[in-house]
Structure 1
Amino acid sequence: MAAQIFAHKTTALTNPPNYALTSHRLCRTLHTSTKQPIVLVACGSFNPITYHHLRMFEIAKDFIQQNTNFEILGGYLSPVSDEYKKAGLVSAHHRVNMCALATEQESSWLMVDSWEALQTYQRTAAVLDHFDYEINTVLGGVSTRDGERDVQIMLLAGSDLIGTMSEPGVWSHDDLDHVLGHHGTFVIERTGAALDQVVDSLARWRNNIYPIAQQVQNDVSSTKVRLFFRRGLSVQYLLPAAVIDYIEQNNLYPDDGPCTEKDRGKESESGEVDTTSSESGRNVQSTLGTETTRLSN
């Protein structure tokens, strides 16, 4: 069944100069005509991208194949714009490049999209609508034996991020209804954020929220990776080798030098911890009716 068309739309979308959606790995033909075609989108800082971000997509893929009537046509990482202005956020140019290196070398079906990174700050609802427009209007959806069909765009996020959706003043009701009611989301369990509580707090959209438990717990985060870089510790096997080389070549997360016990205590007090999803840790700035946190650190 094709994705339901909702009357609510976000504001008009514009593209940066010379922009085109990366689609070289996007499947354009639906293999099983009885299934609903979907594309997964993960929004976040990816500062830097880690193996856990890539692993999230594989966890969702297994769940979807075994438990749903969806067929995945592709997956996208959408790095946040520099306008987010989070402390320690390296430029969007570098974050897009790191995501491109990771997806091209470590995956056969994931891609990175630069649209959000090249814009001013964009709400999650607008980002998902952007993918909807590019895939269904510009590219014409997906081919089936019965003709063309629209693809449903679905958010991929961690349970800690989705937990912020029930916090007053963080997300507007219209955006929640659009993201969860129209698009839908797959929620990956994250250490310290209970899946049942997350879903219960958003009961109105329960039928469009798909919680997924992790079989192998993984608490690797961009926050911890940056801390390792600052301390001069090894990050081997926490993120792709090509990304490590890129970071070192561009000196993106400089080593602060030897860290004393006193310094470690200060770091612990500074709030440098991972609190949101797989690219979590984007602090919640509670501006009434405005969504200001998403997937990543």
Structure 2
Amino acid sequence: MAPTKVVLLSCGAFNPPTIMHLRMFEIARDHLQRMEYHKVIGGVISPVHDEYGKKDLVSSTHRCAMLRHALRSSDWIRLSSWECQQESWSRTRVVLAYHQNQINAVLNDNLDSPNKKQRREELHWVPDDVKYHSEGSVRVKLLCGADLLESFGTPGLWSEEDIDTIVGQHGLVVITREGTNPYKFIYESDLLTKYQNNITIVTEWISNEVSSTKIRRALRRSESVKYLLEEPVIDYIMKEGLYGTKDNKYLLYPEYNQSQSFFLTPSPSDVNMESPSPTSHPTNGIDYGDSSMQCNFSGGESYASKPKNGPVTYIRVERVEDPQDSDRFSNEENTRRSGMGYPGQAVQIIATAAGENKVHKQGLSRPACLL
């Protein structure tokens, strides 16, 4: 018997679309085709209407744009914006029925029909296999996570009529998530048990608890979301200032706003801190350029600024070793170090134009740290 041709349809907010939204399609296709009962010929993503009313939901214009960017890397998953273009929110059962009916209409059209070319252009989400090559029926199945399956048990959230239509007429492909047991949930539901042959459970062995909620939180806090979203999606979010990135106090993406600083507190007024990791290492530890400079001393790092008049001033974070550590230093060296201060003390080093270094404690009694 020939395998059933399947189009996987995923509904949701996609706010923003993550790598796991796309990963679900890949996992599901692998599993279904490995079982040899189904042949997956396409995937469709249908973002929810703006009136769905979910917290922090950005406009469908932005969500569709992010999905287009995210789907650049896929040659078989496509965006359907039909749901977003309706006057109000559509139930999942209605969304599934619309896409199934449109696929059926394309399959049943006469190839010489003058309207078929226009319909193909309008229905850009329809897989090419359906438009040009397919023979026989194609079934639209709902692709979802185990959390959606378990939401069927939430009182008042789903009507029995909707569940009966979704599972009985279309079917589910459910991707497992950490801490869920879809088999147990199906067993405890008489309605789902009735249609259990239409429910395919796909185990995700490479678990990754990436969620749009966590990503929005990270973006609000200026935390990196690299490798959690497709790069073009990140670029779009930053460009449009979505999810609070426009008002972020601290910046992790300097290419979008060069005026903001990475430092949480200002540097001391008499010190110009260029970088905690110097890129050059002068042989004598001193650089007498015309502008602010930085030097590297053995055993610690220092930061320097050259005023218009007077000596170059270096603030050095110096770790003073324990003078009792005779295994590491000679007695002479230990004596010299013990004269500088106690272990962990911050000291100030003044370098004159003649190249002479002088150590000044100047009451700096707290442990060494970046001032």
TM-score in same-fold range (> 0.5): yes
Does 2:252 correspond to 1:252?
no
Aligned partner of 1:179 among 166, 172, 176: 166
Q: Which has the higher contact order (CA 8 A, sep 6+)?
A: 1
* SS of match in other structure, 1:83: helix
Correspondence 1:55 to 2:42: no
Question: Is the partner of 1:171 in helix, strand or coil?
Answer: coil
Deviations 1:25-71 (A, max 9, x none): xxxxxxxxx11111000000000000000000011011011114111
* Structure 2 Cα separation of the partners of residues 257 and 114 of structure 1: 31
Matched residue type, 1:158: G
Distance 1:77 1:224 in 2: 21
8 Å CA contact 1:225–1:235 kept in 2: the answer is yes
Q: Normalising by structure 2, report the TM-score.
A: 0.58
Higher-Rg member (1/2): 2
Alpha-carbon distance, 1:73 to partner:
1.1
1:40 aligned partner: 8
* Aligned 8 A contact 1:159 1:193 in 2: yes
Pick aligned residue for 1:76 from 13, 25, 44: 44
**C-alpha deviations, 1:60-87, integer Å up to 9, x for none?**
0110111141111100110000010212
Confirm or deny that 1:165 pairs with 2:132.
Answer: no
1:257-287 residue CA offsets vs partner (Å, 9 max, x unmatched): 469xxxxxxxxxxxxxxxxxxxxxxxxxxxx
Query: Is structure 2 residue 212 aligned with structure 1 residue 222?
Result: yes
Contact 2:175 2:201 in 1 (8 A): yes
Is the aligned partner of 1:155 residue 2:145?
A: no
The answer (yes or no) to whether the contact 1:157–1:186 under 8 Å persists in 2 is yes
SS in structure 1 of the partner of residue 180 of structure 2: coil
Query: Once the 2 structures are TM-superposed, how far is the Cα of residue 114 of structure 1 from its aligned partner?
Result: 0.1
CA distance in structure 1 between the aligned counterparts of 2:162 and 2:146, rounded to whole angstroms: 18
1:118 deviates by 1.4
Select 1:110's aligned residue among 56, 70, 77: 77
**Equivalent residue for 1:240, pick from 230, 245, 254:** 230
Q: CA separation of 1:100/1:257 partners in 2, compared to 1, >3 Å: closer, same or farther?
A: closer
Matches of 2:50 and 2:169, distance apart in 1: 28
Q: C-alpha displacement at 1:198, in angstroms? A: 2.7
- State how far apart, in whole Å, the 2-side matches of 1:224 and 1:58 are: 22
Quick check: 1:140–1:148 contact (8 Å CA) kept in 2?
Answer: no
Post-superposition CA distance 1:172-228 (Å, at most 9, x none): 111111000000010000122222223223212111001111110110000000000
Contact 1:125 1:175 in 2 (8 A): yes
Taking the aligned partners of 2:226 and 2:26, their CA distance within structure 1 comes to: 21
Matched, 1:133 2:67: no
Q: Give the TM-score normalised by structure 1.
A: 0.72
- How far does residue 148 in structure 1 lie from its aligned partner after superposition? 3.5
How many residues align? The count is: 225
Distance 2:171 2:20 in 1: 22
State the distance in 1 between where 2:17 and 2:240 align. Answer: 15
Structure 2 unaligned blocks of 5 or more: 110-128, 251-371
Counterpart in 2 of 1:194? Answer: 181
Equivalent residue letter for 1:245: D
Gaps of 5+ in 1: 2-33, 260-297
